[in-house]
Amino acid sequence: MNPHPSYFVAPGSVVRSIWGKSDTILFIFAGAAAEFALNKAVHWLYFTGKLPKDPLGRLFSTVAYAKKIVFAPTAEALAAIDTIRQIHTAVEKARGATIPDWAYRDVLFMLIHYSIAAYELLEHRMSDDEKQELFDVFYRVGIRMGVKELPATYQEWLPVRAAHLQEHYEKSAYTTDLFKQYKKHLGAFRYNLLIEGQKLVVPQRVKELLSFSNGNLLKPVIPLYKMSRAMKMDTLLKNLLLPKDYKAQIKALDVAA
């Protein structure tokens, strides 16, 4: 049930706090980039070829839809969700096959997991009520898209998420190729930072499949980064660490309070 009918996500919601900051969003998509490379449905991304050709461009186009859902009035948010479904339906028709419901669930599950993981990494631990609030938003997205067999609460979601991680993930040639594309578009230095960032937010199952080491070069830096945000120096750091061609898009990820 939507607690604020005028907006799909109520003003003041923790979901707006999560999706209103560029650094949180970048960690969400860093984690999702690692996880979806392992998903058994990843071959769908290669049918259109858009993600392998331009992973960063695909990131920002995806974020544009997500932000419209989170910050726009309800009618616009629902229209954005409907557009997402229509895009996928068109791809299904072009390929002559249907994207399985479990693949749609996996994407929703990623957004739930990484929204929590990124926020807790950069801000503070979320309460059970906040996690349920976040879950409810993506549950309503899934229902609008017609995704079947969604768990109804955050607590019911936890074991389903764990089962999906075991059943729907494997390392494949697509995994290897996607990581090659990430490195190609980011360059070696930023690619290594991406890997270290992913290690901070991905679940253990993903770490094991990608053979991520236990050590992490970024972990000791996170407290310093939090201090830099308080001193308004985080923009400088993000400009140094991210491709200059995307500075405007990265700046646009931040939503004024």
pLDDT classification of 54: cutoffs 50, 70, 90: confident
Strands (E), the chain: none
Rounded Cα–Cα distance for residues 36 and 106 (Å): 9
Q: What are phi and psi for residue 39, nearest 5 degrees?
A: -65, 140
1 domain-assigned:
no
> Mean pLDDT, to the nearest integer, of 40-61?
80
255 domain-assigned:
no
Rounded Cα–Cα distance for residues 70 and 88 (Å): 20
8 domain-assigned:
no
Structure tokens at 255: 């939503």
pLDDT classification of 119: cutoffs 50, 70, 90: very high
> Mean pLDDT, to the nearest integer, of 215-226?
84
> Mean pLDDT, to the nearest integer, of 181-194?
89
* CB 201, CB 210: distance < 8 Å: no
Structure tokens at 143: 């229902």
21 domain-assigned:
yes
182 domain-assigned:
yes
At 1-44, the pLDDT tens digits run 566 679 999 999 999 999 998 889 889 989 999 999 999 998 88
Q: What are phi and psi for residue 161, nearest 5 degrees?
A: -60, -45
0.85 exceeded by pTM: yes
Q: Within its chain, how far is the Cα of 197 from the centroid?
A: 13
251 domain-assigned:
no
122 domain-assigned:
yes
Structure tokens at 234: 């985080």
Q: Is the pLDDT of residue 257 over 50?
A: no
Range of the domain at 182: 14-246
Among 56-60, 187-191, 208-212, where is mean pLDDT lowest? 56-60
Q: What is the pLDDT of residue 239?
A: 65
Rounded Cα–Cα distance for residues 136 and 154 (Å): 8
226 domain-assigned:
yes
Rounded Cα–Cα distance for residues 65 and 189 (Å): 29
Rounded Cα–Cα distance for residues 97 and 160 (Å): 25
Task: List all residues 6 or more positions away from 169 whose beta carbon is below 8 Å from its beta carbon.
Answer: 35, 38, 39, 40, 205, 206, 209
Domain count, the chain: 1
